[in-house]
Amino acid sequence: MPMILSKANENMTRKQRELFDREQLILDTAQQILNQQGTQGLTMDRVAAEIEYSKGTVYNHFSSKEEIISGISCRCMDNLTELFGRARDYNGSHRERIAAVGIAQSLYAQLHPVEMQNMQLIKSADVRDKISEEKQLELLQIEQKITGIVLEIVRDAMNNGDIPQDQPFIPDSIVLGLWSMGYGSNLLHMSGIPFKKLGMQQPLEMAWVNSHKLLDSYQWRPLSTTFDIYALREKLCKDLFPEEMKQLNSPK
């Protein structure tokens, strides 16, 4: 039974630190393979060979391949959480902050398409049942954290009087609306569907338009009719995600 070492800790013994480091090494390696060779290229043999330990040792840390995938997903969601955090702490209107969340999500999907696929994989299907309860709890906590950030922005906006309170289901409906639209457009973007061939716009571009349409419909002020959403996007990208923009624009 492998120890749960999701978080580093001051009080760890040398042995525990070693185990923790190796767990990170395994995840590092697995993620690298995933990025270079895709989902099907990620095999336990390859991971073991790369870290120069045996397969048995890998299984001492992760009791199945799914747990490794889940571990990678958790890392990615942590990274995404960090981006969301920047959005929440942005020194602007609440509407600008929630817009920044959308940008963060879209940027992340474009920068890390393979990981994004994986996060989707782990969320669905029987995969979630295959992982241990501890790892499931870890997943849940990160999901709570990331949802919490968005909820917090919406609640703050309500308290600030930016959103009329006489609407049913808010703030949940707003969070879920943005979430599903962002999630769906990301997946459509990554799908092989040839939107150009279908004579259509790109999903991610339309998500930007549509999320503002949705916020307008909730009367979240300032309404997008009073400002330029593209100027806002440029400003937020420059202020909050300069590094990410550079990565996105640099040739791979």
Partner DNA sequence: ACCTGAACACCGTTCAAGT
Site of interaction with a second copy (CB under 8 A): 38-40, 117, 120, 123-126, 128-129, 140, 143-144, 147, 168-169, 172-173, 175-177, 179-185, 187-188, 190-194, 197-198, 200-201, 203, 206-207, 209-210, 213-214, 216-218
| Per-residue interface string for the shown chain with DNA, residues 65-104, x marking contact by CB under 7 A | xx--------------------------------------
**Residue 53 interaction partner, one of DNA, a second copy, none, beta carbon < 5-8 Å per kind:** DNA
Q: How far apart are CA 231 and CA 176, in angstroms?
A: 26
182 and 106 in contact (C-beta within 8 Å)?
Answer: yes
Residue 60 lies near DNA (rule: CB under 7 A): yes
Q: C-beta of 48: minimal distance to a second copy in Å?
A: 23
Q: C-beta of 161: minimal distance to a second copy in Å?
A: 20
Segment 119 to 178, residues that bind DNA, using CB under 7 A: none
Segment 26 to 45, residues that bind DNA, using CB under 7 A: 40, 42-45
**Residue 223 interaction partner, one of DNA, a second copy, none, beta carbon < 5-8 Å per kind:** none
CA distances from 9 to 37, 65, 74 (A): 33, 25, 18
Sequence-separated (6 or more) residues with CB below 8 Å from residue 63: 2, 132
Q: How far apart are CA 183 and CA 170, in angstroms?
A: 19
65 and 46 in contact (C-beta within 8 Å)?
Answer: no
Q: Which of 216, 212, 193, 213 is nearest to 203 (CA)?
A: 193
By beta-carbon proximity to a second copy, the closer residue of 9 and 144 is 144
Residue 53 lies near DNA (rule: CB under 7 A): yes
Residue 55 lies near DNA (rule: CB under 7 A): yes
By beta-carbon proximity to DNA, the closer residue of 43 and 110 is 43
**Residue 206 interaction partner, one of a second copy, DNA, none, beta carbon < 5-8 Å per kind:** a second copy
Q: Which long-range contacts (CB under 8 A, 24 or more apart) does 52-57 make?
A: 53/22, 57/22
In which element (H, E) is residue 85 found? helix 65-88
What is the phi/psi pair of residue 100, to 5°? -65, -35
Q: How far apart are CA 149 and CA 167, in angstroms?
A: 21
